[in-house]
Amino acid sequence: MQRYESLDSMRGICACGVVLFHFAASGFLCGLPPVRGRELFVDFFFVLSGFVISASYGDRLRGGFSVTRFMALRLGRVYPMHVLMLALFVGIELIAVAVPSLSPRQAFTGNHSLAGLFNTIFLLQGTMLAEGTSWNTPSWSIVVEIWTYLITAIVLRYAGAWFWAVIGAMIALTATQLVVSPEHLLNGQGTSVQRCIYGFCIGMVGFALYRRYRDRARALLSLPYAANIGEICLVSLALWLISIAGKGVLTMLAPPLFMVVVFIFAQEQGVVSRLLLARPMRLLGTLSYSIYMVHMLIYSRLLDVLRMVGPHVGLDIVRPDGNGGKVIRAAWYVADFWTVAMLAIVILAAWFTYRFVEVPAREWSRRVAANIGGRSAVIA
């Protein structure tokens, strides 16, 4: 399979955008319009996943590759990090049980309830069976993506000649349900799986178009300045849409636009692609999943430390945000310093979890999956 490194880098940038959104601070960085609309970054992940899964497993699943083996590989890729972060959050709650004065609330309540723990362990978070998010809240998107893997793998494996008719129906049905929802794509109350299916299937369509028209697109982009202008215009349009969409019906346009972005940047012909292929950008892409999964724990604990220690060292900058959370309120340069520091800590932690959790878990899952389905699965 071709490695789409520029798209990996874009995934890393989007993961950092989610980090900046969740880190509430009064500085310049956290107030950027695209950052405030970061909820749509998640839909870029969904579209890109549909594109990449189609590229790597589409033909294999159609040719008889075991759905069970496919799911073992995907779970081995994402579930170990999910469990690790959940275990760390549970550990913090146990510390709060032992030393109640360290926590402003009672342990194992609110978003860290035992019911939420059950839902999160068994991948129900974000589905119709367990609305809302809890514990490591960004993991809802991982959960719904796992269910989408299963649904689309079954379609790829068994739909045969009806495959594109089924995919088209899935896009139409999920789009209809999302359009009539109060906050459309961002409704989040029982429609998170539909949101993922909508973006994922659009990404699958994007790969089909890419495979069919790749040579024509490459020839067109090879014209003078065409690739540079196309990439800059697409990035600008995507950032503009993210900035102004809010929770309105414009959110429904994000996945189709992201599909076009993925289609063009998969060619890797323009100046923006060359920037994305720089080593630091590729590192962000490699660490993107770990960045996404570790950041809530790190930013929450960083704010806790600043809240407890700050007043004693002249840094009384952590304030309640009015919604049960905390925010850094200080001069913009102070807030931005802590924003950059937090992002650097997240990236460093993500390197460790990638190296010592993601990579070993992926290798282990490949060994396990090789034994699933017997000889016929290996041949397929």
Residues of the chain with pLDDT below 70 are 1-2, 35-38, 101-104, 128-132, 187-190, 321-324, 373-380
- In one-letter notation, the amino acid at residue 329 is R
Rounded CA-CA distance 304/176 in Å is 42
* pLDDT of res. 102: 67
Report the DSSP beta bridge partners of residue 320: 326
Closest Cα to residue 48, out of 101, 2, 4, 92?
4
Rounded CA-CA distance 195/263 in Å is 20
Rounded CA-CA distance 296/336 in Å is 18
Rounded CA-CA distance 307/318 in Å is 6
* pLDDT of res. 259: 95
* pLDDT of res. 129: 66
325: left (phi over 0), alpha (psi -120 to 50) or beta: beta
* pLDDT of res. 138: 86
* pLDDT of res. 380: 42
| Orientation of helix 254-265 relative to helix 226-244, angle to 10° | 160
* Burial degree of 83 (CB within 10 A; 0-12, 13-18, 19+): middle
> Which backbone phi and psi does 318 adopt, to 5 degrees?
-95, 125
* pLDDT of res. 187: 65
* Residue located via tokens 């402003």: 104
* pLDDT of res. 1: 60
Rounded CA-CA distance 64/41 in Å is 33
Rounded CA-CA distance 379/224 in Å is 46
Three-class SS string for the chain? CCCCHHHHHHHHHHHHHHHHHHCCECCCHHHCHHHHCHHHHHHHHHHHHHHHHHHHHHHHHHCCCCHHHHHHHHHHHHHHHHHHHHHHHHHHHHHHHHCHHHCCCCCCCHHHCHHHHHHHHCCCCCCCCCCCCCCCCCHHHHHHHHHHHHHHHHHHHHCHHHHHHHHHHHHHHHHHHHHCCCCHHHCCCCCHHHHHHHHHHHHHHHHHHHHHHHHHHHHHHCCCCHHHHHHHHHHHHHHHHHHHCCCCHHHHHHHHHHHHHHHHHCCCCCHHHHHHCCHHHHHHHHHHHHHHHHHHHHHHHHHHHHHHHHHHCCCCCEEECCCCCEEECCCHHHHHHHHHHHHHHHHHHHHHHHHHHHHHHHHHHHHHHCCCCHHHHHHC
Closest Cα to residue 262, out of 209, 223, 222, 225?
209
Between the CA of residue 220 and those of 63, 243, 255, 335, what are the distances in Å? 33, 30, 24, 45
* pLDDT of res. 376: 43
* pLDDT of res. 18: 86
* pLDDT of res. 375: 45
What tokens does 79 get?
């579930």
